[in-house]
Amino acid sequence: METAAKQSYKQNYTDNVELSIFNCGHEYCRPGHTWGPGVRDHYLIHLVVAGRGSYQVGGSRYALAPGDLFLAKPNQLITYTADTADPWEYYWVGFNGACANRLIQAAPFTDAEPCHHCTDPQAVRSALYEIYLSRGTEPQDEARMTGYLYLFMALLMKEAQETMPRAGTTGSQYVLAAVKFIQFNYSHNISVDDIAEAVGVSRSHLYRVFIAAMGQSPIDYLTKYRIGEACSLLKNSALSIAEIAASVGFSDQFYFSRVFKRVKGIPPSRYLAGIQKA
């Protein structure tokens, strides 16, 4: 294990409202080194390259090892801690902007799964290091850093695609098409019949291939996807619960609240109160 050391860069000002890097770096952590509990005002992604540690968010704790990524979203209460016997080494990048959420939505993270094990950790590591190497105060430095951030996110998008069902069979192709239809249309009043019609199969056949590929029914996937989007809006917008319900495809706020409680264990009002308290 290397001696504890940290290389980091923090951006103090940016004109880029679309996508801007807040900070980046590389650290060999001391045994037991902890950040938090606390919140960030931006998206923050770490890649563990050596050692071990833990990440706590949303009431869950994740044990992490080399090749693991973990995501913190703005205003999430988080804690991450290096192992006392085998403290981790990691790279990170923090960023925000108008298109940041769209990029994160395409990455291999969800509210239920904020961590991801890389299939190609070396490529991801190199992309993160290039962001740090491009640091500087001149406009061209910022442009170069942002360019490498896009390349880093492109790798994560590839990782996300590889975790989706393979398109090698007709059944998997139907599932992929159904998932894409849901992701583009969840905010509308769609049903399983609408999904099956869009994909071009019967409702019963869609159910069978979806269960086989995803381990859950199409309606369960649709419901969880909507509630995941609702959680993001509760955390990152000033919309009312009724407005959020409508934004994720529920015409009835009270039905939305019942479904939200079934999926998350608490009603949206309590979920929101917890965010505000944090």
pTM for this prediction:
0.62
Compute the radius of gyration of the chain from its Cα atoms: 20
Q: Which secondary structure element, helix H or strand E, spans residue 147, and what is its range?
A: helix 139-163
Last residue of a domain, one of 163, 186, 204: 163
pLDDT for residue 214: 84
State the total domains in the chain: 2
Same-domain check for residues 218 and 124: no
pLDDT for residue 136: 86
CATH classification of the domain holding 77: 2.60.120.280
Same-domain check for residues 193 and 242: yes
Same-domain check for residues 108 and 193: no
Q: Which domain holds residue 152?
A: 5-163
pLDDT for residue 1: 43
Same-domain check for residues 192 and 97: no
pLDDT for residue 165: 54
Same-domain check for residues 188 and 134: no
Same-domain check for residues 213 and 112: no
pLDDT for residue 170: 60
Local mean pLDDT, 10-residue blocks, the chain (278 residues)? 69 71 94 94 95 93 95 92 96 90 85 88 94 89 92 91 58 83 90 92 91 89 92 86 94 95 92 74
Using CA atoms, how far apart are residues 198 and 175, in angstroms rounded to an integer? 11
pLDDT for residue 16: 61
Distances (CA, A) of 13 to 41, 130, 136, 139, 177: 15, 20, 11, 11, 42
Residue 199: Cβ within 10 Å count: 22
List the 5-10 sheet strands across, edge first: 5-10, 20-28, 89-96, 43-50, 68-72, 115-117
pLDDT for residue 70: 97
Distances (CA, A) of 125 to 5, 68, 88, 95, 130: 17, 11, 14, 17, 9
Do residues 83 and 31 touch, judged by C-beta distance below 8 A? yes
pLDDT for residue 4: 66
pLDDT for residue 215: 86
Using CA atoms, how far apart are residues 80 and 11, in angstroms rounded to an integer? 22
